[in-house]
Structure 1
Amino acid sequence: MAPGPHYRIELADRSAHRYRVTLTLPEPAAHQRFSLPVWIPGSYLVREFAKHLSGLMAVQGDHAVNVAQLDKASWQVDCQPDAGALMLSYDVYAFDASVRTAWLDDERAFFNPSSLCLRAHGFELQAHQVQLAGVPAGWHVATEMSPQAEGWHAADYDELLDHPFEIGPHWQGEFEAAGIVHGIVVAGAWPSFDGQRLLADVQRICEAQIAFWGEAPFKRYTFMLWAVEDGHGGLEHRASTALICARRELPTVAEPTAPSEGYVRLLGLFSHEYFHAWNVKRLRPSEFARFDYQRENYTELLWFFEGFTSYYDELMLLRAGLVDAPRYLKLLAASVNGVLASPGRRVQPLAQASFEAWTKYYRPDENSPNATSNYYAQGALVALCLDLSLREQGASLDQLMARLWQTTAGGPVSEADIISAVRALGGDPVAAALHTWVHGTDELPLRELLTSAGVDWRDEGRQTVAQRLGLRVRESALTGITVTHVLAGGAAQAGGCHARDEILAANGWRLRRLDDLPALLTAGCTTLRLLVSRDQRMVELSVDLPAAQAAAVALAPADAASPARQRWLGA
């Protein structure tokens, strides 16, 4: 077998955010093709990484050879036989503050190989080597790619793309969970950051999840966290995850014993991405058995792989003892309220939302709440309904996940596999219900199932004016009130409001806050005369203000002695 590709990745110009990559292919084909992925697994949007690649040149031996671009992300080099190794060199601009691509500045370097490493066609199954250059003194390199004498190596191109690199003078710490070393590196933290608290709490999450699955499918694991002014998200990999959070979410030396809301949100992110090491990196849609990096890869199963992971991420915080049952139910209620506030749940089935993630979920607009469902949040509620339904039959979602893991040997899964496993554990009615929840748009039986599980479902609070009108707005004392979304079926839509309208006045009064509207109505009057600015024109609208209803659902333990609740959430 011919030797595989070697990548020399140089932190060439940190001020200009520019990597320099040299790819050496010892024995190229006569018409050697190369391509850069257009997407990264786990983030279902064509991101066109090649837009940041420039200056591509090739030499073979001592001679320059022609490089012909075939399409937006593919090239061909015509090589001479027996003329020696082919060397490609190119620059990559890296200034994307996310977990999906690459970053380089004077304080930090980060990259996913999918943004930097061209695929050498015909050599995908051979070992790939990575070498770094230009790393400043005092900077550390964090990656779970296998180390070798002068860098790192991956068994094939798929493995290469599944190992991000975090490089810099970052904070770093380690712990063991089930005898396996886990590392956490944190870049950009405040001086008051409490790293030992984070290590201890994440250790409890990891131990709970390894116990849940019964085994760990990796020999080491690393969490790579970048703390920024404002941001939150993560991207899973086979033995690591890249995370981004707001600095205020990090624990500080003043963190209370019961974690703050921001810190709980961060722990939920750690839990979510870690759960993906099993549920999406090993268990995965059958359509993802092999990836095609040059185009969209479609599946209807993101409700399972993202939604069920979203159900377990906060549940694992409860099982790890980081939150108690009342606080967990408060987190669950927030998810319920978020789903119920979006009319799109009654329009787009979750299976369709999964399939259309490439064009809809990652490209939201002002109509998205009316037309789309959220396979994360709504998928998590399907998992909740399935778990409680299975428990009524003497089984559980835990058993379902374990069964799928064992029967597939931690490999590709189809919807038929999932339905079959549900049927074996809960019978035909539960299997049929799951199919309906995923492929239909009827309301989920949340209230009935939670009540049966010993949870009190009650309405609380009063709606804001925006909720009464069916609006989502952006408002401030300086900029006024701008409509961002008009929800289907609401009073504002019936009255002719549009997204991007600026609400200036109502009933003859200048308006700065939407919640001031009721004060402008006389007794017994419900009609608002709104003056809005629309594309520089003044438009008058008549909108009826509905009576205020309960604003949200609240969940709480109904009976501390409820056997059903104890089996589900513990004491």
Structure 2
Amino acid sequence: MLERFIHDIKNIIAEHHALFGPLDEPYHTILHLTDGGRGGLEHTNSQTSMVPRTSLQPGHVEDYRDLVSLFSHEYVHQWNVKRLRPKLFLDYDLQREINTDLLWWFEGATSWIGDIMCLRSGAWSAEDYFADMKRKLKRHHTRSGSSCQALCEASHEAWIHLYRSHAYSRETQISYYLEGELTMFALDAELRKRSKGENGVCDLMKTLYDKHNIYVEDRSKRGVQYNDIRKALTSLTGGRRLGSFLDDVTKEAGNLDLSRAFSIFGLDYKPSDEPKRKQGTESVVWEHFAQGWLGVHVRSQGNKLKVTSHMQHSPVREHLQVGDEIVSVDAIRVTNAEQLKSTLKGKVGSTARVMFARNSVMHDAVLDVALEPNYPTVTTSNGNRLWKSTIRSRQVDSA
């Protein structure tokens, strides 16, 4: 697996260089293999990343996919963060807070381009890309913060909110990584539609890098502000009328139209098919197999299953509070999320008696069991010529 990883990252690096041009300095990757921890940090000309050791063990497809994505993400930062920065970050004053509204660009756009590079280089297959997209879409749909918080606001408040989450974070806040990436997906679609496939977000980043990196001769041009991104976008072929689009999706909440973006790329975006089950020659009522849903996020702490937050449209919001321990469902003990799902299966449209503890006091309640929402997701990986222009390798162009 290590040999495969080396082969894949060489191709990813070549794809990055085809877009931005090669770097003059040598680059080092320090990879820590852990029991389960995951994260990465970019440095000038290097990265330090940690992933579960299963990432380099045969058979762990999702872990390996994530490893490749993490490497590519941190490598994009050589251009988009280390050399292209918010203007406010050119000279750090470590004695005070310095906020930026642009983390949706410096992390969200990095995530978008990082994963596209995995696909362009062949390190990811189309199946890899869309499996990961489905995961991201599920996160997007099960959090309601996107209707409450705009990307610029989420970025500005990262200093105090991102790393100090609270019980209602999922309902009131967004991740500028995730929502920023999905917004760049939508922006890429709009830009490619108007430019007939000539330009995308990667070209926008290259334009910004060329004009505003920390080494440009004109010091006044170093670093970017929001208006620099907007101006660069509207200067591209196809981007002339996209300034207001950028304003809408970054400065206001709830304006991201993913359905339109998928449609532009010729990708199906719809709820997955309802289960169709048969038993012998007799059709079985599908509700008997449907997944019941309480609309809560839970986490196992020791042998206790704690409510950590509510999902959008949760049917038990008035009964279960964040911090409650769910003890049993219909007299069946539950200690993890899978057990909870199992006890709710086939109970859609009925009720369940839930025993729970709150502040060490036992309670019970008869709760309505809803049908697990069938959120829209991407259901095809073919796409049209605009999608193919997005994922096309540029190594031939740079040869």
Structure 1 and Structure 2 fold alike (TM over 0.5): yes
Mapping of residues 341-420 of structure 1, within 5 Å: 341-394=142-195, 395-410=199-214, 411-420=222-231
* 1:458 paired residue number: 270
Larger Rg: 1
Among 449, 456, 469, the alignment partner of 2:294 is: 469
Among 301, 315, 328, the alignment partner of 1:491 is: 315
How far has the Cα of 1:231 moved from its partner? 0.9
* 2:359 paired residue number: 535
Instruction: Work out whether 1:557 is the aligned partner of 2:369.
Output: no
* 1:246 paired residue number: 52
How far has the Cα of 1:360 moved from its partner? 1.0
Q: 1:520 to 1:382 in 2, by over 3 A?
A: closer
Instruction: Work out whether 1:438 is the aligned partner of 2:262.
Output: no
Counterpart contact for 1:325–1:569, Cα < 8 Å: no
Among 200, 203, 211, the alignment partner of 2:10 is: 203
* 2:35 paired residue number: 229
Q: 1:525 to 1:245 in 2, by over 3 A?
A: closer
Mapping of residues 278-289 of structure 1, within 5 Å: 278-289=79-90
Residues in 2 aligned to 1:365 and 1:293: alpha-carbon distance in whole angstroms: 26
Please identify, of 218-227 and 549-558, the stretch whose mean Cα deviation from structure 2 is larger: 549-558
Counterpart contact for 2:133–2:378, Cα < 8 Å: no
How far has the Cα of 1:551 moved from its partner? 5.1
* 1:168 paired residue number: none
Counterpart contact for 1:484–1:500, Cα < 8 Å: yes
**In structure 2, what residue type is equivalent to 1:407?**
K
* 1:514 paired residue number: 340
Residues in 2 aligned to 1:312 and 1:450: alpha-carbon distance in whole angstroms: 17
Q: 1:201 to 1:331 in 2, by over 3 A?
A: same
Please identify, of 379-388 and 326-335, the stretch whose mean Cα deviation from structure 2 is larger: 326-335
Q: Percent identity?
A: 28
Mapping of residues 260-271 of structure 1, within 5 Å: 260-271=61-72
Q: Structure 1 unaligned runs (5+)? A: 1-193
Mapping of residues 280-359 of structure 1, within 5 Å: 280-359=81-160
Counterpart contact for 1:506–1:520, Cα < 8 Å: no
Q: Deviations over 1:257-311 (max 9, x none)?
A: xx82211101111101110010011111111011122332210000000000011
Q: 1:519 to 1:211 in 2, by over 3 A?
A: closer
Q: What secondary structure does 1:567 align onto?
A: helix
Counterpart contact for 1:326–1:556, Cα < 8 Å: no
Q: Deviations over 1:145-169 (max 9, x none)?
A: xxxxxxxxxxxxxxxxxxxxxxxxx
Mapping of residues 137-152 of structure 1, within 5 Å: none
Among 19, 23, 29, the alignment partner of 1:212 is: 19
How far has the Cα of 1:326 moved from its partner? 3.2
How far has the Cα of 1:317 moved from its partner? 0.6
Q: 1:232 to 1:506 in 2, by over 3 A?
A: closer
Q: Which structure is higher in helix share?
A: 2
Instruction: Please report the TM-score for the alignment, with normalisation by the length of structure 1.
Output: 0.60
Counterpart contact for 2:270–2:377, Cα < 8 Å: yes
Instruction: Please report the TM-score for the alignment, with normalisation by the length of structure 2.
Output: 0.84
How far has the Cα of 1:428 moved from its partner? 4.9
**In structure 2, what residue type is equivalent to 1:205?**
I
* 1:147 paired residue number: none
Q: Which structure is higher in strand share?
A: 1
Residues in 2 aligned to 1:214 and 1:464: alpha-carbon distance in whole angstroms: 50
Q: 1:525 to 1:353 in 2, by over 3 A?
A: closer
Counterpart contact for 2:65–2:128, Cα < 8 Å: no
Q: Structure 2 unaligned runs (5+)? A: 215-221, 275-289, 394-399
Instruction: Work out whether 1:566 is the aligned partner of 2:388.
Output: yes
Q: Which has the higher contact order (CA 8 A, sep 6+)?
A: 2
Residues in 2 aligned to 1:230 and 1:210: alpha-carbon distance in whole angstroms: 31
Q: 1:470 to 1:297 in 2, by over 3 A?
A: same
Residues in 2 aligned to 1:445 and 1:210: alpha-carbon distance in whole angstroms: 32
Mapping of residues 60-79 of structure 1, within 5 Å: none
Counterpart contact for 2:349–2:370, Cα < 8 Å: no
Residues in 1 aligned to 2:92 and 2:240: alpha-carbon distance in whole angstroms: 33
How far has the Cα of 1:566 moved from its partner? 1.8
* 1:176 paired residue number: none
Counterpart contact for 2:148–2:254, Cα < 8 Å: no
**In structure 1, what residue type is equivalent to 2:341?**
D
* 1:119 paired residue number: none
How far has the Cα of 1:436 moved from its partner? 0.8
Residues in 1 aligned to 2:346 and 2:142: alpha-carbon distance in whole angstroms: 26
Counterpart contact for 1:422–1:430, Cα < 8 Å: yes
Please identify, of 525-534 and 417-426, the stretch whose mean Cα deviation from structure 2 is larger: 525-534
Alpha-carbon RMSD = 2.4
**In structure 1, what residue type is equivalent to 2:150?**
P
